[in-house]
Structure formats: C-alpha cells, structure tokens
C-alpha cells in the first residue's frame, strides 16, 4: 500500500461517507486521482461496497519505540578510546516500529502506536515508515520532546558493541494517550508491544486486553524488568539471554539453565518463550516442547545485526497468525532475521514473503 493510499484510507476510516472531492481537497490532489486510488484500495480488498465500507481483514498493532537509528560500523577490529575508520548509516528504527515494518513487508496490515517529536527526525521517521507500508495514523506527535534517537557502534562483524538510546519521549506514551485507541486495539488480531513503554502503558494494556493475544519484546537488560509484573498477560515473549537473565535473576547459558529459566516464565503465565543467542541459535519453549534451532543455510554477510531480533519477532507473529507448527515458525522467523542482518539499515527492504520462503528452501 502506497503512502497516498494510506492517507486516503485514514480519511475514510474517520468518515466512511466522505465525498471524493473532499478527500481530493484535503490531500491537494485531483478528484480523478482519488478515484484511482480508491479503485486500487478496492482491488486490494481494503475497502468494499458503496460508501467505502471498510474491509474486516485482520490487522496487527505494534506499540512502543520508534526512533532514528544512527549506526557506526568499524572496518577493522574496534580500538577503544580511538578513532576507528568505518561507515555511518542512518535509518528508521525502534523495536515496535521495526516489527511493524517487517510485518508490512511480509504483506500484513500493521498499525503502529508510538510517539515522535515535532522535528526533522520525526518527519523523516513518518515518511520512511509510510514508504515501508506501515499504517502510521495512530502515532502521536508530542511537540515538547525530541524524536527518539538510537546511536550504536558496531564492530567489523556487524555486532553491536555499545549503544545509547535517547528515548525519553516514549515515557509520554502512557495510558491516557493510549485510551483513545482502545476500540481499534480490541479489534486487532494480535498486539505486539516492547518494553520501551512506561509502566502506565504496560499496566493499562495488560489489564484492558487480558483476553487478547499479546507478544512482547524485552528490548534491553535495563528495560526487561518492566514487563515482570505483567507476564501473566503475555502469550509470547521474545528476549535475549542477557535480557532473560535480568528479567528472572537466573542464568541462561546452558540448556539446563535455559529450561529452568523458561519454566520460571511459564509459571508466571507466559505461554511461549523464545531466547535469541546469536550464532548459538534460538532456544524456544512452549511448555509442551523445547529445543534449540539454528538457521540451516545462510550465505549472507552480516552488515548490521541490530534489527535481526525484531525481524525474528515479526516472523513469529506472521507464523502464529498462519497457525504454523513450532518448528516451521522458528525456521521462518530465523530466515527473516537472516535476511535482515545482511543490510546496513535496521530493517531490510529486501524482506518479503517470497524472500523468506526462498531462504527456507535453500
């Protein structure tokens, strides 16, 4: 879906009886152009019938961080307290936003709830995200704070060595700002949240949507503990070994330790646990089944591993909506992550359903 089609669909959602001429005037385009876009939306199944009756097709909502990512990658082994020759890449980022982009590239209708500032980075983030296919109409603009920025240093292998996240604006994405989206959230097929969210938001989402399927990402060791009081509401938890250790206080190095840690999380209400461990693969536990999976075939050079976990979570979400078995779900998610880490941006424009299926077959 193009950015113009997203704009038109947003206007129609607000007023399904809005005349085409009124849409044209609001968007400063011709009425004939509006008619063409509406025809395209109808052909895609996003609207149907007279009066622009909206399609009841399923959609996913991602809630949490959205930032501008600045990655510096060293060309050689990093030297501390020194200037390292390398490359710098700027892209759209943020865990929830990245997951939303990956799901959009896999062909799903994904809506993002986040916050941006009234600044250049905010405008850039909105445009890049719309271009990637994300529905951005629920993103809050907060003039009193700057758009989030994530600054990371990658080694010559593409692994993040240190990062600074300036994300104070997300603290303002509290329950008060989320309540107007309650009806939309209730209609979603799946909610995905990240631990960038403040406690007020996590508490409200947990209590209000206890009957909904919620996936969560722990984000970092600092923020992982934010989800601890609300684990009873989490269906699927994606975390790293170090984040899982911070969350539970248990070690996550050996298979025995991983099983014990997963058992602790299951006991607190989490149905499925996925612990990513870099080149050691992914440990998963569903209560009934546990195991470790690795990407079976990979020929990609690692250029930026920063968004691989977000692509993995998006792959899990897609697989869950398709009701796939656990082994196929994990391999699909790993393939999505593998494609992502081969691109310098946090999310890869090469990601698609066809690309993931091809990666799984070869």
pTM of this prediction?
A: 0.82
pLDDT, block means (10 residues), the chain with 362 residues: 82 77 87 82 69 69 96 92 94 95 94 97 96 95 96 88 93 96 93 98 97 96 97 98 97 96 97 94 93 77 75 97 95 94 82 91 78
Q: What is the pLDDT of residue 20?
A: 82
Give 181-190 pLDDT, tens digit per residue.
Answer: 999 999 999 9
Closest by Cα among 133, 103, 56 to 320: 103
Instruction: List the CATH code of the domain at 1-57.
Output: 1.10.10.10
Contacts 24+ apart (CB under 8 A), 300-303: 300/338, 300/339, 300/341, 300/342, 301/158, 301/342, 302/157, 302/158, 302/159, 302/341, 302/342, 303/73, 303/158, 303/341, 303/342, 303/343, 303/344
Could you tell me the CA-to-CA distances from 51 to 55, 82, 133, 261 in Å, in that order?
12, 63, 24, 53
Task: Evaluate whether the domain defined by 58-361 bears CATH number 3.40.710.10.
Answer: no
Every domain of the chain and the residues it spans: 1-57, 58-361
Query: Same CATH fold, 58-361 and 1-57?
Result: no
């Amino acid at each position: 879906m193009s950015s113009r089609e997203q704009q038109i669909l947003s206007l129609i959602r607000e007023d399904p009886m809005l005349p085409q001429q009124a849409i044209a005037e609001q968007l400063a385009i011709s009425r004939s152009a509006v008619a063409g876009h509406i025809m395209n939306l109808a052909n895609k199944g996003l609207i149907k019938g007279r009066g622009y009756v909206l399609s009841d097709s399923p959609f996913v909502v991602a809630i949490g961080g959205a930032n501008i990512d600045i990655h510096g990658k060293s060309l050689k082994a990093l030297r501390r307290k020194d200037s390292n020759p390398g490359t710098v890449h700027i892209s759209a980022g943020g865990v929830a936003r990245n997951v939303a982009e990956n799901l959009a590239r896999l062909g799903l209708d994904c809506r993002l709830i986040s916050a941006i500032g009234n600044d250049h980075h905010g405008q850039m983030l909105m445009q890049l995200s719309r271009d990637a296919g994300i529905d951005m109409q629920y993103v809050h603009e907060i003039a009193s704070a700057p758009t989030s920025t994530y600054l990371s240093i990658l080694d010559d292998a593409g692994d993040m060595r240190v990062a600074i996240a300036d994300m104070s604006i997300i603290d303002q994405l509290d329950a008060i700002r989320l309540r107007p989206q309650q009806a939309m959230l209730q209609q979603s097929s799946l909610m995905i949240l990240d631990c960038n969210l403040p406690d007020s938001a996590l508490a409200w989402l947990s209590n209000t949507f206890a009957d909904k399927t919620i996936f969560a990402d722990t984000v970092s060791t600092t923020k992982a503990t934010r989800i601890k009081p609300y684990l009873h509401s989490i269906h699927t938890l994606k975390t790293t070994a170090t984040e899982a250790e911070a969350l539970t206080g248990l070690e996550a190095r050996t298979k025995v330790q991983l099983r014990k840690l997963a058992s602790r999380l299951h006991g607190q209400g989490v149905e499925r646990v996925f612990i990513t461990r870099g080149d050691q693969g992914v440990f998963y536990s569903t209560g009934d089944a546990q195991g470790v999976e690795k990407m079976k075939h990979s020929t990609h050079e690692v250029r930026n591993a920063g968004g691989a976990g977000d692509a993995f979570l998006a792959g899990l979400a897609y697989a869950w909506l398709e009701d796939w078995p656990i082994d196929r779900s994990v391999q699909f998610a790993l393939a999505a992550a593998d494609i992502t880490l081969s691109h310098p941006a946090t999310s890869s424009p090469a990601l698609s359903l066809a690309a993931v299926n091809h990666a799984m077959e070869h």
